Amino acid sequence: MKNLCIATVVLALSGCASVMTAEEQSIKVTASNNQPIEVTVDDKKTTTPGMVVVLRDGKDKVVTSTTPGCHTATPIKKTIAPVFWGNIIIGGVLGSTTDGSTGKMWNYADSVEVTCAAQ
């Protein structure tokens, strides 16, 4: 009975990344020269320093800039969300497949810096 209670608590407190992870993520974007530059991520524009909200879909994200002297494309790093690993143990193939298909198994970097020439 004790094992059943422990198992129930573990299952109740655990969840797959598709349930436990937000659908969107905010990413801070800065420029290395500390100057305001206009950047775009997933067709969303902002001026640095600024925030851009992206859909957590597992796709590669790139910060683009047309500002002279700045890199035109800066990739945003992504990592697997820790909750995904627990889901593999508890949810098995079904849970991990769901996380993979929704893209919510991925966390994007909280911030990214666009490299620009010093002015």
Q: What digits encode the pLDDT tens for the residues 47-102?
A: 999 999 999 888 999 999 999 999 999 999 999 877 776 666 666 665 556 655 56
Helix H or strand E segment including 93: helix 82-102
Look up residue 9 and give its two tokens: 């608590």
> CA 42 to CA 58: how far, in whole Å?
13
> CA 8 to CA 78: how far, in whole Å?
32
CB 81: neighbour CB atoms within 10 A? 19
Digit-coded pLDDT (tens) for 1-46: 665 545 444 443 344 444 555 788 999 999 999 999 999 999 999 9
CA distances from 27 to 30, 44, 74, 87 (A): 10, 12, 13, 25
Q: Per the confidence metrics, is the pTM higher than 0.85?
A: no
Q: Return phi, psi of residue 99, to 5°.
A: -60, -40
> CA 99 to CA 85: how far, in whole Å?
10
